[in-house]
Structure 1
Amino acid sequence: MTDEGERPEVFGPIDAGALREIRDLFRNREPLVETAELDDPLNPQTLSVTVSDGVGDADSARFDIRWSLSGNYAVHYTDDRKRNFRFDCHPKPDAPTRHFHPPPDAPSRPVEASCITVSETGLVARAVIQRWRYAYDRGAFDGINDGQNPP
């Protein structure tokens, strides 16, 4: 899930409290969430959220989420049709700090400026849920990064 050339020291140490907050928001706000689990309860690095359905013809999907103490984040969606996208916020050469890796394969290059401009943990999580729900309700990824200041 790490971009080519992304150094862990740039991303920063993981914020376990932020991951727990995001876990609770996904559980409380998205009815299709099946599980929302930290990879390690004592020293989590990643939150994985599985949903019982995916966008379009996908039957299941997962979000893998990292959040650093410095406010960097990576929210990676993947589904059983091997389609991916990512909303990220971290230093990346030749790209905006807040950027989006588009579907279907979330390439490292090129990226787009992210429609998510907020920085607070809870607001970013709500915006990701909102943009995913937008794509889910329409059955397609078109416009997923076109939101106007979500959430």
Structure 2
Amino acid sequence: MTGDEELSQHPDPDEQDEVFGPIDAGALREIRDLCVDQEPLVRTAALDDPLNPQTLSVELSDGVGDATAARIDIRWSLTGNYAAHYTDDADRDFRFDCHPKPDAPRRHFHPPPAALSRPVEGSCIAVSEAGLVTRAILQRWRYAYTNETFSGINDAENPP
């Protein structure tokens, strides 16, 4: 997983800024601390820039199924929009997002294995507070990890 590979799967952040909104650095710090406190497999949780962070990268010491390492990249805006993108060393991805998207629910899920822009489905995550959304994302990742499959990852009823 290189930075170039990861960036190729996301639209250009500058193109999304108008819809996504400015990044909430305080929320990213809260999410970072919660990830470290709640998930024992978090190896590191680091902001891309300590003064003006845009993304929180949460490195996991294991992945789902055959994956031996994984990462969740998180963006959170001042307007409550978010994107949480899981990627692993077995080249599998999924995303839980909340932002305006034409022809899709505001809260939506990009399914594995590729988390492409289309198709998307409605997200099982209905909460909106940063801490609750983070717990829900960690819960759904933990579900996939424990069961060694992505099947059912978006089937929960309003986690956490």
Same-fold call, TM > 0.5?
yes
Aligned to 1:46: 55
Pairing 1:70–2:101 present: no
More helix by percentage: 2
Q: How does 1:10-29 map to 2 (within 5 A)?
A: 10-29=19-38
1:86 is matched with which residue? 95
1:12-57 C-alpha deviation (Å, 9 max, x unpaired) = 0000000000001100000000000000000000000000000000
Please list the CA deviations of residues 54-89 of structure 1 after superposition, one character each: whole Å capped at 9, or x if unmatched: 000000000000000000000000000110000000
Residue correspondence of structure 1 range 1-151 to structure 2 within 5 A: 2-3=10-11, 7-151=16-160
TM value normalised by structure 1: 0.97
Structure 1 residues not aligned, in runs of 5+: none
Question: Which residue identity is paired with 2:119?
Answer: P
What is the identity, as a one-letter code, of the residue corresponding to 1:15?
Answer: D
Deviation of the 1:4 alpha carbon: 7.4
Greater than 6 Å deviation, 4+ residue runs = none
Contact 1:4 1:108 (8 Å CA) reproduced: no
Percent identity of equivalent pairs: 74
Q: For 2:98 and 2:11, locate their aligned partners in 1 and report how far apart those are by CA, in whole Å.
A: 12
Partner of 2:96: helix, strand, or coil? strand
Distance 1:129 1:7 in 2: 25
Q: In 2, Cα distance between the equivalents of 1:82 and 1:4?
A: 20
Aligned positions, number: 151
- 1:8 Cα deviation from its structure 2 partner: 1.3
Are the aligned partners of 1:72 and 1:90 in contact in 2 as well (CA < 8 Å)? Answer: yes
CA drift at 1:7? 2.6
User: Are the aligned partners of 1:99 and 1:111 in contact in 2 as well (CA < 8 Å)?
Assistant: yes
SS at structure 2 position matched to 1:7 = helix
Cα distance between partner residues in 1 of 2:121 and 2:12: 16
Q: Structure 2: where are the runs of 5+ without partners?
A: 1-6
* RMSD (CA atoms): 1.3
